[in-house]
Amino acid sequence: MRFAELLEVISRMLNIFTRGAFLQGTYEAAIVEAQGATWVGGGARDHLTELVEIRQALLTLEQQITMVVNQLGLNAASGGRLNEILENNLFKFSRNFRDIITQTESLCTQLRTTDATRLQGVSFFEGGAGPNVQRTVGSLPSQQLQQAFMRSQLAPGVEPTIVRSGQPAFQQVLNSIRTLPVTFEDLKRNVSQITGSLIAAIRLWMSQTMAAANAALRAGMLLIEEAIVEMGSRLTTPIIIIGNPFGQPGPVA
């Protein structure tokens, strides 16, 4: 049943949205690595590669979802409405993520040319310093640099910032990154809102489509309704936003 396949691919995209790749810290980590920074403990990390792989995964899923929709055999009106729902409730978020990753990749490429050793000798803590490692505002590399023991690692004349000041293009990328959540809690809440809005829109579309559907299609869509209810029941947080919704600016870190 193509409808079941559609929901399965949508679920895979929503699951990707819950990964740490959509937290501010991952992007800041890629930026400081491009300037020679390392991590306490000496672990080799390449956050930019992780982001680039996520970007490709999102693009592939967008293409798969579109392909499945085109194979549903819907009339022009129903198919057009379903594509509109997916655009407004799913793809716009995926494209926004991909755009921020591309901006970050371009910035890192430039930094490797102009500032490759700016943070050489600086070792950041993954998840912040101290025994309670977690994703918080204080764990962001930009915030770690405000601590005296981190500033002491900087070369003379280097500002305690993750990029040089006075560079509007750099700041524009940071502004985009700061539209993303900082904590996993906020990330999950944002994804819950996306999921809830998408489910509501699909269920409304299905009720309208079923009115004109034949018996076989109605029976199939009733099974999909059960799958949608199950998808919604897996939400672990209320469908509300706490923190910064995706695509809206947050406080300057």
The span from the CA of 207 to the CA of 129, in Å, is 52
Residues 48-71: pLDDT tens digits? Answer: 999 999 999 999 999 999 999 888
Largest CA distance in the chain: 75
Q: Return the percentage of the chain with pLDDT > 90, whole number.
A: 53
Q: Where are the domains of the chain?
A: 2-183
How far is the C-alpha of 103 from the C-alpha of 77, rounded, in Å?
36
Residue 222 pLDDT exceeds 80: no
Q: Compute CA distances 105 → 23, 160, 174, 179, whole Å.
A: 15, 22, 12, 17
Predicted pLDDT of residue 237: 39
Instruction: Give the total residue count for the chain.
Output: 253
The pLDDT tens digits for 184-216 are 999 999 998 998 898 888 888 877 776 666 565
On the CB side of 38, CA atoms within 13 Å amount to 8
- Terminal Cα distance for the chain, rounded: 47
Question: 92-150 pLDDT, tens per residue?
Answer: 999 999 999 999 999 999 999 999 999 999 999 886 554 445 678 888 999 999 999 99
